[in-house]
Amino acid sequence: MEKIGQIQDEKQELLEKDRQYLWHHISPHNENPVIFEKGQGSWITDIDGKEYIDAMSGLWCVNVGHGRETIAEAAMTQMKKLGYVPLSNSHAPAANLAAELNDWLKEEYRFFFSNSGSDANEVAFKMARQYHQQKGSYGKYKILSRYRAYHGNSMGAMGATGQASRKLKYEPAGEGFKHVPPPYCYRCPFGKEPDSCSLECASAIENMIEWEGEASVAAVIVEPVITGGGMIVPPDGYLPELRAICDRHDVLLIVDEVICGFGRSGKPFGHRNFDVVPDMVTMAKGITSAYAPLSATAVRQEMYEVFKQDEAMSHFRHVNTFGGNPVSCAVALENLALIEEESLVEAADGMGAFLAEELKVFWDFPIVGDIRTFGLMAGIELVEDRSSKTPLSLEKMNQVLAYCRKKGVIAGKNGDTVPGFQNVLTIAPPFIITKDEIRQILAVFKEALIDIAE
């Protein structure tokens, strides 16, 4: 009893500090947040000792699971040896990691390290604009992306983000960003069905390039699938067609692999599912499985050469104090070694197939409008009724998530994206998830859907 009392005293002290000093991310201030204390495998435990299955890998990122001691040891070893040096010079973890990432991509790239996915995309936009200028195409500055897509919170990355709720009260964002409809087959913006589709969603990007003027468009940025915006999976031919469109118009293709990368899609990178080679690849999250902040912008070698011209201001004039921190790079190397040693990409592929099969029973629920999967992640689009496809209300969505949390499952949804369309229940568990744990998650999902129907 004495120990329980001590825990409660500690909890109250932390809550008082939280209420007085802490500003929570992307939410109204929560007066009674869950205080998480530890994690192991696919589970996290709060200060009261209650255990939860982390069905979202944190924020789509703890791919190798919680509590990996070898990653902690790698960080400690590097901290003792060299905790920091800026990457205006070099250090062994950064050089080794760049070489390892090149092997993962199976092409010749150069790597610029930053801290987060937003940072990596900011770097990509600046590189794309400078690249074209140094080739003599001085007017190419516009970046095209899709509505519903998320590419970051900083002003430039927010400009590329196609989610109105993320921008409200912050605009104007970065200049030169244009958006096109997403490849959203369930709610096709072009009124098409699978048997009548001619990839109008891809043609819309070519139309935008032509309407804006090819001479003004620098790059297109896409995720292999739109993840946080509702798990929107494109038709099979979409990304190859987009690659061809970019080639026709001298436009760079940037693939945002911040979530899909490092095995989440069932392959090393999401774009490998579609057999395309991007000009630039941005990555974060799974690069360290969130054990340390790190991101990278990969640039094709021939693009990098353009920045080596012997003239003033031809180099890339961007610096990031903590980007490529030696400790973060050491953590990434150990994380990637674990993924390879334990065949976790293959595990994600297998568990993704199992998840997709187990989700089929959810078609029995009238409020399930669509089910979309891609590797080891899925989105269940919930509706008031199937005929109208009216999105399930935010109140009911929050009720679903609250029920799941009460039953010990941390699930997700496409929060703060498009007003009135925050209706996709998401799951993206660690790659080390077991079949029994997936069954536990889905059993709670079923209970939650029954609960809101009553």
Q: Same domain for 189 and 263?
A: yes
pLDDT of residue 336: 98
pLDDT of residue 1: 63
Q: Same domain for 398 and 449?
A: yes
Domain that holds residue 449: 34-64+344-453
In the predicted model, residues of the chain with pLDDT beneath 70 are 1-2
The verdict on residue 409 lying in a domain is: yes
Q: Same domain for 148 and 296?
A: yes
pLDDT of residue 2: 65
pLDDT of residue 415: 84
The verdict on residue 21 lying in a domain is: no
pLDDT of residue 280: 98
Single residue among 324, 341, 358 that ends a domain in this structure: 341
- Side-chain half-sphere CA neighbours of 442 within 13 A: 21
Q: Same domain for 198 and 290?
A: yes
pLDDT of residue 31: 86
Looking at the 3D structure of the chain, how many domains does it have? 2
Q: Same domain for 229 and 250?
A: yes
Q: Same domain for 229 and 315?
A: yes
CA distance 399 to 259: 26
Give the model confidence (pLDDT) of 77-121 as tens digits.
999 999 999 999 999 999 999 999 999 999 999 999 999 999 999
pLDDT of residue 408: 98
User: 287-307 burial by CB neighbour count: b if 16+ within 10 A, else e?
Assistant: bbbbbbbbbbbbbbeebbebe
Q: Same domain for 155 and 39?
A: no
Q: Same domain for 287 and 371?
A: no
The pTM for the full model equals 0.96
Q: Same domain for 319 and 381?
A: no
Single residue among 278, 307, 341 that ends a domain in this structure: 341
Give the model confidence (pLDDT) of 393-406 as tens digits.
999 999 999 999 99
Single residue among 341, 368, 390 that ends a domain in this structure: 341
- Side-chain half-sphere CA neighbours of 84 within 13 A: 5
The verdict on residue 23 lying in a domain is: no
pLDDT of residue 195: 83
CATH of the domain at 231: 3.40.640.10
The verdict on residue 415 lying in a domain is: yes
